[in-house]
Amino acid sequence: MAAPHVLVLPFPAQGHIIPLMELSHCLVEHGVKVTFVNTEFNHGLILGALATRESNLGGIGLVSIPDGLGDGEDRKNLSRLTNSFSKVMPGELEKLIGRINDDARGRERISWLIADVNMAWAFPVAKKFGVRAAGFCPSSAASFATRLRIPELIRDGVLDEEGWPRWRGTFQLAPAMPPMDTSEFSWNRAGNPKGQPVIFQLILRNNADTHLAETIVCNSFQELEPGAFSLFPGVLPVGPLFADSGTPVGSFWPEDASCAAWLDEQPANSVVYVAFGSFAAYDTAQLIELAEGLALTSRPFLWVVRPDSAGDERYLEQLRRRAAPRGRIVSWCPQQHVLAHPSVACFVTHCGWNSTMEAVRNGVPLLCWPYFTDQFLNQSYICDVWRTGMKVPLPPAADGTKLVGRDVVRGKVEELLGDVETKARALALRDLARRAVGDGGSSRRNLRRFVDLVKGSAS
Ligand code: UDP
């Protein structure tokens, strides 16, 4: 019998591609054939970062379709990106499935589509071809739950029709769930005033097609979010997803291979790791305060400053000089392996869900500096529910006129590193995460159920 052939479609952003690549590697290991669909632009970045033209990444077939934007257009403009791909990609995906199925001539035709829940327009496309559909949730189950419960939140007077909270305070989505603050809805944390309606409308469109997915796989684990998973028994937590060292996960930028040797030279439990994911950007004055604050700690630090967030080379050089001799600045690193290194003591993070899960899996305490969308909700999980981290006190003005000062940075890093209870809780959560993905663990069992479903052997 031919292996089942799965088409995997992420939302076209780094933090969505990486966990779906990790899930794809798991499927390949279980004998599933995977074709991974990136936009042409991201496909180019991924191959460029690996300096290869190879269209097979550790057994995963890579293909691409256009997102409808021109070469030089700003893909960080969410409104332009989502408007463009919503128009162009459904037709392109149809053509792609048609092409693959024609070539397959009965063998290895596409049998399943696994699409990001943020690309739910793809589910009706799959149905047209008789292809079965599963969703992939790259965020926390709690964040996903708030999205699915928007109609109830409007009915109950928590939200208005535009998605804004009607009052300020905490509420519970369900009795088993931790309290949430009404300021934390991901769509209201768009990073700029024009972003909210774009994200909110996108979520409503996605919600309308989500029911077409037979199941939804989530990069979280049962024991981490029992309340949220109790709301959605059809959602299968399979996380924390991860990739072994050397397994490509579709990075947009080349990983700095020298990090491991540098970390090896540092004392155990000494390094402050600083990284804000693939999208967040802080202004220059803020980054200088951060650099000064890190220098004041007198600790070794490893800081990821992405090429697209660094301004010009002169400025980057200024940061590098300020960081020396103890600090090291790199453009992109193998983060999962950095977090697993024994010399890493804590992680200053924007609280992206992947970064959060990677820290959980490695027992690393977090200093939270959220930037946008679900990162504020993730911060609450970290600081108020699991209590494995602390908040950087962010100034209320989001216009960049108020900064987190160097002394605050130094003080918070020192406070976090001096807190043995936070570290102990991070280690206990790490053990739970490892049990979940280990033999007989909840995530391992759920992954098996999902593989059986895809292979058609589910009961
Ligand atoms: N990452 C990485 N190297 C870096 C910085 C980040 O590999 O130098 C990875 C990180 O391990 C995570 C992803 O990029 O898997 C970022 O995802 P996250 O959800 O944390 O943030 P986003 O980029 O979506 O804001």
pLDDT of residue 457: 65
Residue 360, ligand 1, Cβ within 6 A: no
Task: Write the CA distances from 291 to 295, 322, 328, 331, 389, integer angstroms.
Answer: 6, 7, 11, 15, 21
Read off the pLDDT of residues 47-60 as tens digits, 9 standing for 90 and up: 999 988 888 888 99
Q: How far apart are CA 280 and CA 306, in angstroms?
A: 10
Complete DSSP assignment for 59-111: TEEEEEE--S--TTS-TT-HHHHHHHHHHHHHHHHHHHHHHHHHHHTTSS-EE
Task: Determine the residue of 251, 278, 348 to mutate for testing ligand 1's pocket, defined as the one with the most ligand atoms within 8 A of the Cβ atom.
Answer: 278
Task: Say how many Å lie between the CA of residue 350 and the centre of ligand 1.
Answer: 10
Q: Is the pLDDT of residue 338 over 50?
A: yes
pLDDT confidence tier of residue 400, bands split at 50, 70 and 90: low
Residue 139, ligand 1, Cβ within 6 A: no
Rounded mean pLDDT of 438-458?
Answer: 93
pLDDT of residue 174: 85
pLDDT confidence tier of residue 233, bands split at 50, 70 and 90: confident
Q: State which ligand 1 atom lies nearest to the alpha carbon of 19.
A: 15
Q: State which ligand 1 atom lies nearest to the alpha carbon of 278.
A: 23
pLDDT of residue 397: 58
Read off the pLDDT of residues 343-382 as tens digits, 9 standing for 90 and up: 999 999 999 999 999 999 999 999 999 999 999 999 999 9
Q: Is the pLDDT of residue 459 over 70?
A: no
Read off the pLDDT of residues 62-116 as tens digits, 9 standing for 90 and up: 999 999 999 889 998 999 999 999 999 999 999 999 999 988 766 789 999 999 9
Tokens of 36: 């991974």
Q: State which ligand 1 atom lies nearest to the alpha carbon of 249.
A: 7
> Contact at 8 Å (CB) between 278 and 14?
yes
Please state whether the predicted TM-score (pTM) of the whole model is above 0.85.
yes
Q: Is the pLDDT of residue 314 over 90?
A: no
Read off the pLDDT of residues 409-441 as tens digits, 9 standing for 90 and up: 999 999 999 999 999 999 999 999 999 999 999
Q: What single DSSP character describes residue 384?
A: I
pLDDT of residue 213: 97
Q: Is the pLDDT of residue 310 over 70?
A: no
Average model confidence (pLDDT) across the chain: 93
Read off the pLDDT of residues 270-287 as tens digits, 9 standing for 90 and up: 999 999 999 998 888 888
Residue 279, ligand 1, Cβ within 6 A: yes
Task: Say how many Å lie between the CA of residue 353 and the centre of ligand 1.
Answer: 9
Residue 351, ligand 1, Cβ within 6 A: no
Q: Is the dihedral of CA 79, 62, 306, 411 positive or negative?
A: positive
Strands 56-57 and 33-39, sheet pairing: unpaired
Closest CA to 164 of 180, 140, 187, 142: 187
Write down all domains in the chain, each with its CATH number in brackets. 5-246+438-455 (3.40.50.2000), 259-418 (3.40.50.2000)
Q: Is the pLDDT of residue 398 over 60?
A: no
pLDDT of residue 1: 65
Task: Say how many Å lie between the CA of residue 221 and the centre of ligand 1.
Answer: 19
Residue 251, ligand 1, Cβ within 6 A: yes
